[in-house]
Amino acid sequence: MKTVRVVVVGAGVIGFSTAVCVAEALPFCSVTVLAEKFSPDTTSDGAAGILFAAQFPDISVERQRRWFKDSFDHLRAIAQSQQSPEAGPFFSSRYQIFKDVPADPKPYWSDLVIGFRLMTDRELERFPGYKFGQAFTTVKCECSSYLPWLEKRFRKAGGKVQQRKVSSLHDLSDSYDLIINCSGLGSRTLTDDPQVYPVRGQVLKVEAPWLQHFIRDGDGKTYIYPGIHGVTVGDISGCSYLFRLFTLYCYRIVCKCKYFHNLMLFFALKQRKKFEGNSRFFAKFKIFFFFT
Ligand SMILES: Cc1cc2nc3c(=O)[nH]c(=O)nc-3n(C[C@H](O)[C@H](O)[C@H](O)COP(=O)(O)OP(=O)(O)OC[C@H]3O[C@@H](n4cnc5c(N)ncnc54)[C@H](O)[C@@H]3O)c2cc1C
């Protein structure tokens, strides 16, 4: 049988996940990942990597449910396997809070995550101005571990890796039979698609081991996500209560940092792009502050 030459453009979480699937499932394919940047320099490396479901009005709920279930079950299987410490996915629990009761208090993904329930009044007392909340456990997948783990799997399946910038997808058509575009924000120029654009926000990655639970505003714009390699706190909205809480946490964190040598406060200005008005992807811009 003739070998099918496949190229995946992009080495972020989408590119490597796709490349691993093709290389492992279709051994008659020769798969190459071609990218300008690899871990730790992709947008995926900057992501908190927590798994939540958004709701897109022009895609059927059934389809969104299937997407979310597939992703959740895939990451859950890794999180509860012995591979979890090397691969990155682990379970993360607690609160999504709302200022008003949402239209769908029990959303389509509620039976797909673990232990979904509504928050009690006593739990909500911690969040002045918030009237409603959901408590559940999801999976957090940190790409600083997950991408190297995927790359290892990819190479083991015979995959090849090449680092270079692609200026046009058409240029690859002589060398490959199938081109899979996973170039993230790079798609704006590679596919000449103005609907792919970044949106700015702020994200801090900090050392704060006393924070154990995620807290997320229901609109998804403000959040605190504890992880293995630090806590991600972010805001892409105005000055909400959560943002003030987040600032307070940061103040505590910075104060605490001063007592330790070489603790690093990582500040990332976050850019988000919207793709076809639906799916959201992010790019990042990082500034590092060192407290010694
Ligand atoms: C601060 C932050 C926090 C986030 N938190 C979360 C979260 O908690 N949960 C969540 O689900 N998502 C989160 N995201 C979003 C998530 O990071 C992105 O949706 C995801 O990383 C997109 O992955 P990707 O593989 O499509 O793109 P990227 O990771 O951007 O990878 C793109 C790849 O394409 C390559 N490329 C681009 N153009 C070219 C070219 N011309 N030639 C060659 N190579 C090219 C790049 O070099 C790179 O290798 C967050 C994002 C940010 C910035």
Task: Compute, in angstroms, the gap from residue 1 CA to the centroid of ligand 1.
Answer: 35
User: How many other CB atoms are found less than 10 A from the CB of residue 1?
Assistant: 4
Question: Is the model's pLDDT at 165 over the cut of 80?
Answer: yes
Which spans in the chain are helix H?
13-25, 43-46, 61-79, 84-87, 121-124, 143-156, 187-190, 241-258
Q: Whose CA is nearest to atom 7 of ligand 1?
A: 49
Using one digit for the tens of pLDDT, what is the confidence trace for 88-143?
A: 999 999 999 999 999 999 999 999 999 999 999 999 998 989 999 999 999 999 99
Choose one of 16, 33, 44, 187 to mutate for the ligand 1 pocket test, by most ligand atoms within 8 angstroms of C-beta.
44
- 112-144: burial string, b at 16+ Cβ within 10 Å, e else: bbeebeebeeeebeebeebebbbbbebbbbbbb
206 in the same domain as 189? no
108 in the same domain as 82? yes
Q: Is 224 in the pocket of ligand 1 (CB under 6 A)?
A: no
Q: Is 14 in the pocket of ligand 1 (CB under 6 A)?
A: yes
59 in the same domain as 21? no
Query: Of the residues 163, 193, 223, which one is the last residue of a structural domain?
Result: 193
Q: What is the pLDDT of residue 240?
A: 57
Query: Of the residues 170, 193, 216, which one is the last residue of a structural domain?
Result: 193
Using one digit for the tens of pLDDT, what is the confidence trace for 180-228?
A: 999 999 999 999 999 998 876 777 788 888 888 999 998 877 889 999 8
271 in the same domain as 291? yes
CATH assignment at residue 6: 3.40.50.720
Please say whether the dihedral angle defined by the alpha carbons of residues 93, 231, 234 and 272, taken in this order, is positive or negative.
negative
User: How many other CB atoms are found less than 10 A from the CB of residue 6?
Assistant: 21
Which atom of ligand 1 is nearest to 281's Cα?
19
Q: Looking at per-residue confidence, does 275 or 178 come out higher? A: 178
Nearest to 24 by CA among 159, 177, 160, 151: 159
State pTM to two decimals. 0.83
Q: Looking at per-residue confidence, does 22 or 267 come out higher? A: 22
Do residues 60 and 68 touch, judged by C-beta distance below 8 A?
A: no
44 in the same domain as 149? yes
- 191-214: burial string, b at 16+ Cβ within 10 Å, e else: eeeeebebeebebbbbbbeebeeb
Question: Is the model's pLDDT at 156 over the cut of 90?
Answer: yes
Total count of domains within the chain? 3
152 in the same domain as 206? no
**Distance separating alpha carbons of residues 283 and 199, to the nearest angstrom:** 8
The residue segments making up the domain with residue 173 are 1-49+145-193
Question: Is the model's pLDDT at 287 over the cut of 50?
Answer: no
255 in the same domain as 224? yes
Using one digit for the tens of pLDDT, what is the confidence trace for 236-281?
A: 655 555 656 666 666 555 554 443 333 333 333 333 333 333 333 3
Q: What is the pLDDT of residue 270?
A: 35
End-to-end CA distance of the chain: 60
279 in the same domain as 240? yes
206 in the same domain as 287? yes
259 in the same domain as 225? yes
42 in the same domain as 171? yes
